[in-house]
Structure 1
Amino acid sequence: MAKRKRLSGPLQDFLTTSETHSAPASSTAPIARVAGDASVSAALEEVSRELSSARDEGRLVVRLALDTIDAAWLMRDRAHPGTADEPDFSALIDSLRRNGQRNPIEVVDMGAGRYGLISGWRRLTALRCLHDETGDDRFATVLAFLRQPKSSEEAYVAMVEENEIRLGLSYYERARIAAKAVEAGVFPSSKLALQSLFATASRSKRSKIGSFLSLYRVLGDNICFPQALNERLGLALVKALEANERAGAQLIEHLKSACPDSFEAEQRLLSDFVNTVENSTESVRAPSTPPVSEALAPSPDTENSVSNPAEEVCPGIFLSQKGGKLQLSGPAVNPVFRDRLEAWLRKNTDT
C-alpha cells in the first residue's frame, strides 16, 4: 500500500497558522460604535430615573446603621416596644437571630446622615438588643424603606396603620396616640385624630377608642402595661370613673403606691378597683323625698308645667323633668360625662 503523503508547503503553513494564532479582530465601523455608546448611555439614564423614582415613591430599600435611626422622630403609638419577657417580642428576637431581617422598617431622610423612624420600632429595638448581645455585624444594620411623607399627619397614619396590620394596638394605646397627636398639634381635635388615624376602622371601633380616650385623659401614662389592658376591663374602668368623679385620683394614687411589676398584678389592681367602685355605687341611696306638705304645695306655674321626681336612670345619674326642661344630676354627672353627652347629642342630632 502506498504511503500517504503528509501535507507540506503553503497549505500546511496556512493550517498551522490558523490553529496557533488568533485572527485579527475585525474593526468596527464608527457608526456602530456611536450607536453602541448611545444605547449604553440610554440604559444608564433609564436605571438612574428608575432609582430616583423608587426613592421618591418610597420603594427603595437601603441598609442603614442602627445608630443613624432616631426612634423619637415621631411620638410612638406604643408605650414601649417590648421586653424579652413578653412572648411576642421574644419570638421576634428569635426570628431575627435565625433568619435575619425580612421586612424593612420605614424611615424618613432627615439629612446629615440621620433618619427618622416612621414604623418598625419593635424590629429596630430587637436588632439593637441582638447587636448588644452578640456584637455580630449582621445585626449592626437595618433594612429600611425611604419614605417621603407629605405631612406629619401622613407620617402618623403610616405608623398606626402599619402596627394595626402587623400586631394590633390595645384600645388604650390607640387612645393614647390620638391624644398625643392632638397635644402635639398634628390634628386640631380628637374627632379628627380618630377619623384620620383609624380611617379604616368601623364606626363602633372608633366609638370604643373614643371611650378609652376619656380614660386616658384621666389616667394618662400612669398605666404601666397599656398593651395588656383589654377592652372589657377598660370599658368597666370608664364606667367606674364616670360613676365617681373622685375615682380617677384615687386610682392614680393606687397605681403609684402599688407600682405593679407585671401586667397580671396591674390587671388585678384595676379589677379590684372596679369592683370597689361598683359596690360603693350600689350602696348609694336615692335623694330623700321632700315632706308631703311641701310636695303638695302648689307652685306659681303648676298649671303650665308637668314635672316628675328624679329617677336614677343609670348608676349615679338621676333624671328629672319640669315643663320643657330635663335635668341630670348625681355623682356621675362630671365634666367627662358632659363631654361625652355633648358629643353623642351632636352626632345623633345631625341631619
Structure 2
Amino acid sequence: MQAHDKAEKRTHLRTPVFAVAPMIDWTDRHCRFFHRQMTKKAVLFTEMVVADAVIHGHRERLLGFSAEENPVTLQLGGSDPGKLAEAVSIASDFGYDEINLNVGCPSDRVQSGTFGACLMKTPDVVEACVVAMKKVATVPVTVKCRIGVDEQEPSDVLPDFLRRMVGAGADAVWIHARKAWLQGLSPKENREIPPLEYDLVHAMQRENPDVFLGINGGITTIGEAVRHLEVMDGVMLGRAAYHNAGLLTEVDAAIYGEAADAVDWLKVRDTMAAYAERWVAGGGRLNHVTRHMVGLFQGFAGARRYRQILSTEATKAGAGPQVILDAFAAVDIAGGPKLQAAE
C-alpha cells in the first residue's frame, strides 16, 4: 500500500484542483487544445517560458493560445525579480488564469541560468521574485517546487520554503514530491530515481490547511489522484496524462463531480481535424498537432494502427487533416477500451 492510501482525510476548504503538469517541448498550445477536448475543467499548464525570452522574443509565438484552452497557467522560468515582473506584465494581456514560477526543473540548461530547482538553495531569491511578480500580476501567482535538492533534508527545507512563499504572497504552491539531484542524475532520472515522499507533502497540507498546496510526481491514474485529494487541495499529472490522454476523460466526473457522460469521439476527431486544417493552412505542419495525439486510444482495438498512421503519415510533406480522419477510422471506438488502467 502506498503512503497516500494511509493518509488521514481532511475537510476541504476549497474546491480541489486537477492540473496537467508543465512539460518542456510537450505542453505547447497544440497539446493543450487537444487535452481540452478530454476535460473541460482541468487546469492546463504551458511549457516553462524563460522570462528573458518573453521580454526579447516573439511574444505571440511564446505566449499566444486559443481561448478554447482555458483555464491555462503560464509557467515562467527565471531568477531576476525585475525581469520576472516585466514578463508578468507582458503576459497579462494574453489572458492567462495564473502565473507559475518554476523552482523544480533540474535540467542543465535551467541550472546554467541559475533558476529552476537550484533556486531551492536560495529561497530568499524566490521570495523576492514572488514579491515582484505579485506587485504587477492581475491573476494568482503560484510556485512549483521540489521537496529539496542535493544534500538538503526535505523535512527541514520544505516547511521553511513554504513559510517563505506564503509570506511573499504566493497564492499556491505545487510540490513535486521528490528531491532533485542537480549533479549526477539526468532530468529523466530525477523524475524516477529519488524516492517519492508523499507523506511529507501530505503533512505540509495538514499543517497548513489555509494554504493551497498541490502534489505532483509518480501519480499515474485518476484513482490515485482522487486519493491524494483526500488530503491535498490539488493534484497534478504529467507524463501519465500525456502518454495516455484518455485518462483525462475521467477528470471532470471523478474530480469535479460533473456528469459522467460518454466521450463523443467523433466530435473529438472533427474538432482536431478542423484545428489541424487551420494550422496547416497557416503554414504549420500536421505533425506539430498530431504528435500529441499518438497515445490517445490505449486499450482500444485498432490503437496500434491508429498510432502507426499518426506517426508515419502525419510527418509527410503536404499531410493534412485527412490523416486524423484515417487514424480514427482504424479504431473500434464503439467497442471501447479492452484494457483498464491499473489502479
Normalising by structure 2, report the TM-score.
0.24
Indicate the structure with greater helix content: 1
Higher RCO, 1 vs 2 (CA within 8 Å, ≥6 residues apart): 2
- Name which one, 1 or 2, has greater alpha-carbon Rg: 1
Normalising by structure 1, report the TM-score.
0.23
